[in-house]
Structure 1
């Protein structure tokens, strides 16, 4: 983990807790994770919230690296001008199995030229500015995290936890990642009205290949009518057997899964667009606005209008690389 003065504490500690919890649950069955902090501000680095973390000098980070993680933070605008650090990140990435970032950390990866020609994401408030600053990067502001080859970038602040769970899933399987998530007490819906769907707990793809194929088909067809027989056909299974296996593998019925994924898409559209509610409902596959309102209120306990009024993304006027990093919506 590469730190610098003004790093966002949760960008660092969120992933650390995921990997440390994985180590504790693995015990001696391993292999686990050894977590090292390096920083040009060694030996003690003060985060933007005042939390101080011990770190070794950058020179200590030699040799092969499994996972390189770069956080965002209030000090990002100064760090982008630190050519020695940017060049170190570029060199370290060349000897890393995978390269990851949380929030504004993707700016540092882009500054190092590592994301040219790749899909990447960042905090929703910074995406447009990142696209302007780094036109060779394909910036996608919607996903919780984006994986492009060995590069994985996550959105704002707490999504580093979702990304880290996905990395644990890649290393140790979905069942173990779910165990880690449960131990960390991560839920389908956070309180406060905003839906923050965990990439592992609620949008996870099943290990069973036919069910995984069906889930992927659902996500690609949320804007049109979807029936259980339609989905079962993608898995090459009878509707009855498919429904039974799907519930066993995913934990909810096919109908519940479809509804949750539609609500997730609706949340993203309400947060990031000015589309009328009727168009949001239509794009998410709800046959009538009334059906959409009922489903939305049942899942989130607020109306779509209330949700938008609380969480619609208003783009900040300042340059994100030269300004304080805001708290992530719903964090």
Structure 2
């Protein structure tokens, strides 16, 4: 598809959509228009930005705010947008199951040069079948459901946004801003995207991936007294060497029977539970106090502070000290 200027950007919204998923990208492209004029002493927009809804002009967002859109899907067909952005929201999961919505979107996506989603908008995009065997991402809280519903889509669980051919997905809420800046960079180069990010006081390239923002999941409580005992022992002795054989002996079980029963009740094998418990405790300590990195490594049972830093960065794509700067209470 030949690029025509100004580049037409269409954001698709619906009742219950997340406000930031919509207005974050809209503001990025609007700011790019202003920055381009300022930098080049021009008086025209480089982006034409419109908001479309599915069936009715007025929609009510998740915030409870009523918004009047520029048109509905029938109008979007005529608009011939260069770039499509599908906003996210809880409702997107049910919209992805509505064949009439998906069938209306397919020709629109086919004619667009770029198609993208923000947050759970990825469910709608994936439901079209266009993401088969392609890279995608969505909000970290939706990983399991997305993978179950779309097993042939290659879900990148830490990316802030992904690109595969003409299809783009952003992870969640504010990452729609990250993706929009990237699209501007593709269209007009590094400098205009960088200056737009500065104008918005936003990261041009946000450090780390989205897993750093995921919640510290509480572990499942066991149902039997034996596994509860083992679970409590692990949680209270993370600074020690924890062997599955020792845990089995603690509860008077064979290693095989203990591992089977533990996995059945907790949902994780003992070794993976220990790894997760250590990592969760380390994140909590980084968030809640000023204990040194070396001390945290010891308290959580890591070999040394260097191995802790290495494992932490591999998991969240940022160092423990960077994590503390962002999330310390």
Q: Smaller-chain TM-score range?
A: 0.5 to 0.7
The alignment of Structure 1 onto Structure 2 pairs a total of residues equal to 227
**How many angstroms apart in 1 are the aligned matches of 2:34 and 2:311?**
43
Give unmatched runs, 5+ long, in structure 2.
1-10, 218-274, 283-301
2:322 and 2:148 mapped to 1: Cα distance? Answer: 39
- The alignment status of 1:3 with 2:13, answered yes or no, reads yes
Partner of 2:144, secondary structure, is: helix
Alignment of 1:105-124 (within 5 A): 105-124=121-140
TM-score by length of 2: 0.62
> What displacement does 1:104 show?
0.3
Q: Does 1:132 align with 2:151?
A: no
State the secondary structure of the residue aligned to 1:301: helix
Assess, with a 3 A threshold, how the Cα gap between structure 1 residues 95 and 271 changes in structure 2: closer, same or farther. farther
Q: Deviations over 1:284-324 (max 9, x none)?
A: 679xxxxxx9x74477437xxx76xx8xxxxxxxxxxxxxx
Number of the residue aligned with 1:25: 35
Q: Give the direction of change, closer, same or farther, for the CA distance of 1:7–1:280 in structure 2 (3 Å limit).
A: farther
Q: Distance in 1 between matches of 2:122 and 2:135?
A: 11
Partner SS for 1:101: strand
Alignment match, 2:309: 281
Asked if 1:141 is matched to 2:157, the reply is: yes
Among 158, 169, 189, the residue aligned to 1:153: 169
Q: Secondary structure at the match of 2:59?
A: strand
1:15 and 1:171 map into 2 onto residues whose CA distance is 15
Q: Secondary structure at the match of 2:117?
A: strand
TM-score (norm 1): 0.61
Find the aligned partners of 2:210 and 2:132 in 1 and give their Cα distance.
28
Which one of the candidate residues 89, 97, 109 is aligned to 1:73? 89
Aligned mates of 2:200, 2:121 — CA distance in 1: 24
How much does 1:36 deviate?
1.6
Task: Give the SS at the match of 1:35.
Answer: strand
- Does the C-alpha gap of structure 1 residues 148 and 297 become closer, same or farther in structure 2, counting only changes over 3 Å? same
Aligned counterparts of 1:146 and 1:52: Cα–Cα separation in 2: 31
Over 3 Å counting, the alpha-carbon distance change for 1:105 and 1:298 in structure 2 is closer
Change in Cα spacing, 1:185 to 1:79, as seen in structure 2 (3 Å) is same
Among 32, 54, 57, the residue aligned to 1:43: 57
RMSD: 3.0
What is the CA–CA distance in structure 2 between the aligned matches of 1:4 and 1:179, rounded to whole Å? 31
Q: Which has the larger radius of gyration?
A: 2
Displacement of 1:184 in angstroms is 0.5
Match of 1:173 among 189, 198, 209: 189
SS of 1:181's equivalent in the other structure is helix
